[in-house]
Amino acid sequence: MFVGTFEGFETLLALMGYYEEEEVKESLNSGELNISEEDEDDQTTIQIVGLGLGRTGTTSLAIALEILNYTVIHDDEQTENTDLYDAEETEEIDMDEMHEILGLRGFNVTFKTAGHHWVARHPEVKAILTVRDNPDKYVDSWLLAAPFMSIMEKRPFRWMPTVKTLMPSFVHEYKDETTNFNRGKYLDRETLRTNYENYLQTIQDAVPSERLLIFNVKQGWEPLCTFLGRPIPEGILFPHVHTRAKLQGEMWFLELITWIWPLALFLPLVSIIIVMKYMLRGKKM
């Protein structure tokens, strides 16, 4: 829970735009997408797409891929590239252009910007579909994460520029993708369960089997490294993160912010009033 609370604080900073790169801020201000000169040595293309639904081990997989020296777009990196989401929303770039720019910025794996339709159109790209042991375990786990969506719709989050820009992506991930676009039932167990099973089949039908790894993170390094043609890291256990308690701590902290945010406005005002009161009292004396 403590670690989760700290994660919640990190998430708050990310949603406030604290971790945005300077080039991203310049892009948002100028309306022109920028590529930093520092990225030129790392320019690449998108090679892998993570297609698993949330709470199927995607965070563990993202960290595993980073250990294998891939550069990944996942939760944190999503909030660091808001200019691309802004440009896509305003139809200044299409999905192919977005992924070209992500490659130029040094990313070669994405979990947040591509679906199975895009993967199907790009034979050079591999896909990893993370799964849970069974649909019910997926639903149980997902319902712990789903409150994030309602939190983002509350004050002060809904006022934050980063949240506003990413909101269409959040809605798609939390409400559309999990329910087959039946948004009103994104917390309904049976809808989530049925969609999970259908979603797995849809991915398998859309992506050729030679380019698709169906992966349970409990399987560890061997199937992942075999699929990618990478050696198994010596002496490094496969990461297993974002546990139930950690996620509950993160959601608790973010929900708390929706209750205490007025203090951020009133405490400075009260401080100014107290200072002015003492200054006036000093003049009278």
Helices (H) and strands (E) counted in the chain, each on its own, are 14, 5
Strand order of the β-sheet with 48-50 is 72-73, 109-110, 48-50, 126-130, 212-215
CATH class as words, domain 22-243: alpha beta
Is the whole model's pTM more than 0.75, yes or no?
yes
Q: What is the pLDDT of residues 232-253, one digit of tens each?
A: 999 999 999 877 778 888 999 9
Q: What is the pLDDT of residues 35-55, one digit of tens each?
A: 776 667 789 999 999 999 999
pLDDT of residue 76: 85
| pLDDT, averaged across the chain | 90
Contacts of 12 (CB under 8 A, 6+ apart): 253, 254, 257
Count of CB atoms situated within 10 Å of the CB of 52: 24
User: Would you call 111 helix, strand, or coil by DSSP?
Assistant: coil
pLDDT of residue 248: 87
Least Cα distance to 211 among 278, 279, 135, 129 occurs for 129
User: Would you call 34 helix, strand, or coil by DSSP?
Assistant: coil
Residues 87 and 92: their CA atoms lie apart, in Å, by 5
Cβ 3 vs Cβ 64: under 8 Å: no
Residues 176 and 53: their CA atoms lie apart, in Å, by 11
Number of residues in the chain: 285
6, two tokens: 């700290």
Residues 242 and 247: their CA atoms lie apart, in Å, by 6
Cβ 50 vs Cβ 60: under 8 Å: no
Residues 110 and 45: their CA atoms lie apart, in Å, by 11
What ranges do the domains of the chain cover?
22-243
Residues 181 and 2: their CA atoms lie apart, in Å, by 35
CA 198 vs CA 40, 52, 69, 191, 201: distances in Å = 41, 13, 33, 11, 5
DSSP run (H or E) holding 127: strand 126-130
Scanning the structure block, which residue is given the tokens 């994405």? Answer: 110
Contacts of 259 (CB under 8 A, 6+ apart): none
Q: What is the pLDDT along the chain (285 residues), one digit of tens a residue?
A: 677 788 888 898 899 888 887 778 777 777 777 777 666 778 999 999 999 999 999 999 999 999 999 999 998 899 989 999 998 888 889 999 999 999 999 999 999 999 999 999 999 999 999 999 999 999 999 999 999 999 999 999 999 999 999 999 999 999 999 999 999 999 999 999 999 999 999 999 999 999 999 999 999 999 999 999 999 999 999 999 877 778 888 999 999 999 988 877 666 655 666 666 566 665 555
